[in-house]
Amino acid sequence: MLEAMVAAGAVDGVTGRNELSVDGLGISEHMKVVEKLREVFNKYVNGKR
Determine the structural domain holding residue 24 and report its residue range. Answer: 2-45
**What's the pTM value of the predicted model, to 2 decimals?**
0.68
Number of structural domains found in the chain: 1
Could you give the 3-state DSSP secondary structure of residue 46?
coil
Please classify residue 46 by burial: count the beta carbons closer than 10 Å to its beta carbon, then call 0-12 exposed, 13-18 middle and 19+ buried.
Answer: exposed
Q: What pLDDT sits at residue 49?
A: 61
Each residue's pLDDT tens digit, 19-44 = 999 999 999 999 999 999 999 999 99
* DSSP-assigned states of every residue in 1-41: -HHHHHHTT---TTT-SSSSEETTEEHHHHHHHHHHHHHHH
According to DSSP, residue 47 is labeled T
CB 20 within 8 A of CB 27: yes
Please state the rounded mean pLDDT for residues 3-25.
Answer: 96
